Amino acid sequence: MIQDYEWLLTPLALGILGLCIGSFLNVVVHRLPLMLERGWWLESSEHLADAQELRRAGLAAPQADKLAAGAQALQTHLEQLPPLGIATPRSRCPHCGRAIAWHENLPLLGWLRLGGRCAGCKQRISLRYPLVELGTGLLFAATAWHVGPQPLALLWCGFVATLLALALIDWDTTLLPDSMTLPLLWAGLLAALLGWTLPLEQALIGAIAGYLALWSVYWLFKLTTGKEGMGYGDFKLLAALGAWLGWQMLLPIVLGASLIGALVGIGLKLSGGLREGRYVPFGPFLAGGGLVVMFAGAPRVMGWLGWA
C-alpha cells in the first residue's frame, strides 16, 4: 500500500509540502518568542505582586508595597491583552493592520501576486517571508531525494523544519525555546529506539555528549572570564543533533559551526552589523552544521576529516 502512494513522497510532492510548512514556520518564528515573553512577564508579575513575599526577601515595606502595586498593574494589563497564539489572531499587515486574505497567504504565490507589497497600504512585505517558504520547500525536496520515497522522509522533513525554525528564532532573538529543542531531542531518541534512524546506543551517547560538551565549554569560559559565552539552549540543540545524527558527528558539527560563525562574526564586525553586546548567536550555525552532516552523510563527513 505504501508503494501505491510513493508519489506523495517524491521531491516534487514534498517540495510543495515544504512551501506550505515554510509559511507556517514564518508564523512560528514571529509569534513563538512573543508568546514566551508574554508568559514570562505574566509569571514575573504574579510573583512580584505579592508584597509579603517581597518583604520576606529583604525589601523594606514601602518599597515592597510600591513594587507590588506596579506588578499588579502590569499583571492586569497583560491579562487584558488580546489572546496570542500560533493560530490566533489572523495574520495582519504589520504596517496598517489589515487582515491578510487567504489567497494572499498562499505560499510564495501570494507574495509574487502582490508584488511584494501589502494590498492595502502598499508597504513592502519583507522578502524573508517568501525566502523562508522557498528554502523550506527546497530543503524538503532535498530530503525526499536524499532519503528516498519512503515514510521516513517525513520524519527527516520534521527534523529539517524544526532546525530551520530554531535557527531563525535564535538569529532574531537569541532564544532557543525549550518547547522546540526538547521535543526535537526526545523525538530523536524515540526514532532511534524504534529503529528508524541510528542504533539507540549511538543516539543516547550523542545526546549526552552533545549536552555535556557545550556545558563544559560554557562553564570553563565563565569561570575563566566571568562572562557567559553561550546560552543553555545551545546545549540542548547540540544534544538533539547528537540524538539524531550520532555522537561521531558532534565534532564535525561544532567545528563547522565555529568556523562559519567566526567568519560571519568577523564580517558583521567589519560592516558594523553586530547587534548590541557585539555577539553572534551560535544556534543558527549549529543547525546549519547539522543539516550539512545530515545531507552529506556520516561516511563522507568522516572522509572530509580524514577519519575514514
pLDDT reported for residue 14 = 96
Cα–Cα distances in Å, from 120 out to 93, 100, 125, 129, 204? 9, 9, 12, 18, 52
Residues in the chain: 308
Judge whether 203 lies within some domain: yes
Ranges of residues in the chain with a pLDDT under 50 are 1
d(Cα 119, Cα 88) in Å, to the nearest integer?
Answer: 21
Given a contact cutoff of 8 angstroms between Cβ atoms, the answer to whether 305 and 252 are in contact is yes
Mean pLDDT in the chain?
91
The reply to whether 7 falls in a domain is no
88: Cα within 13 Å, side-chain hemisphere: 4
Classify residue 106: in a domain, yes or no: no
Helix (H, G, I), strand (E, B) or coil at 237: helix
Q: Determine the Cα–Cα distance for residues 297 and 146; give it in Å rounded to an integer.
A: 10
Determine the pLDDT at residue 1: 47
Residue (of 147, 167, 172) closest to 157 by Cα position: 147
Q: Is residue 225 part of a domain?
A: yes
- Give me 117's grid cell: 507589497
Q: Tell me if 93 sits within 8 A of 116, measured CB to CB.
A: no
Distance in angstroms (rounded) separating the CA atoms of residues 82 and 95? 18
C-alpha cell at 220: 570553563
Longest dimension (CA), the chain: 74
Q: Is 250 a member of any domain?
A: yes
Q: Is residue 55 part of a domain?
A: no
Nine-digit cell string for 299: 561516511
Q: Is residue 16 part of a domain?
A: no
Measured from the Cβ of residue 156, the count of other Cβ atoms closer than 10 Å reads 22
| Residues 6 or more apart in contact with residue 265 via CB below 8 angstroms | 274, 279, 280
Residue keyed to cell 513563538: 32
For residue 100, CA distances in Å to 18, 20, 119, 171, 218 come to 21, 16, 9, 26, 44
Distance CA 184, CA 188 (A): 6
Quote the domain boundaries for residue 292: 151-308
d(CA 150, CA 143): 11
What is the pLDDT, as a whole number, of residue 283?
A: 95
pLDDT for residue 308: 62
Is residue 92 situated within a structural domain? no
**How many structural domains does the chain have?**
1
